[in-house]
Amino acid sequence: MTNIVNRVRRNHGLEHATIHMLSAKHKHFSAQGNSDHRGFSLNVYGELTLEDVETAVYEAHRRMNAGESHLAVHQNCGTVLITMGTLAAIASQLAFGFEERRQKRSQMNLAVFTAALPTAVLATIVALIVGRPLGIKLQANYTVEGDLGDMQIASIRATRPNIITQLFRLLLGGKLKSTAYRIETSQ
């Protein structure tokens, strides 16, 4: 089990490093990835080719193997977003709960909501500010690995965008081209 988790963490790190490489050379795109123990899938919204992705994957692999382990961490990782969202939800719930207790109410009503709203907004903002660096720290320590060890790139191929990729494309305005790629690794 430890071996599988380590492989997922390495693939997750390579996924982020690949997105860093793509971002450095291409400006008008968005990407989202999913890693597993066999590699990662990369969903791209914008005009990137298979050659662009291949170049980025191999450059990311080379640079990480040369010691640039920091490339494994990405500020827009799901770990960061989940950490921020969770802390924001807890902060706002606490603000509303404290106001209910202060007013000795057993349930939320308009008066409690109105009184608690400014505190809940402030608590949420503080949670989001604290959540980003905390999420990055959690990511670096638990969900990615910057040392690829003996990982090799086994294959890179274009795949059909899944239903989630197509849904995000619509949410992003529907005009962006969406493509998906599967990067397989071996260790």
Per-residue pLDDT tens over the stretch 57-73: 999 999 999 999 999 99
Please check whether residues 34 and 84 belong to one and the same domain. no
Which residue, chain included where needed, has tokens 């007013």? 103
Type of residue found at 173: G
Residue 111 has pLDDT above 90, yes or no: no
The per-residue pLDDT for 173 is 74
Please check whether residues 67 and 156 belong to one and the same domain. yes
CATH number, domain of 174, equals 3.30.980.10
The overall average pLDDT reported for the chain is 93
Of 14, 11, 10, 8, the closest CA to residue 58 belongs to: 14
Please check whether residues 92 and 181 belong to one and the same domain. no
pLDDT digits (tens, 9 = 90+) for 141-159: 999 999 999 999 999 999 9
User: How many residues are recorded in the chain?
Assistant: 187
Please check whether residues 32 and 43 belong to one and the same domain. yes
When pLDDT is cut at 50, 70 and 90, the band that residue 172 belongs to is confident
Residue 110 has pLDDT above 80, yes or no: yes
Residue 2 has pLDDT above 80, yes or no: yes
What is the phi/psi pair of residue 95, to 5°? -60, -45
Its domain, for residue 56, covers 2-73+145-186
Residue 108 has pLDDT above 80, yes or no: no
What value does the mean pLDDT take over residues 27-45?
93
Count: domains in the chain: 2
The per-residue pLDDT for 28 is 86
Of 162, 131, 126, 154, the closest CA to residue 61 belongs to: 154
Please check whether residues 52 and 106 belong to one and the same domain. no
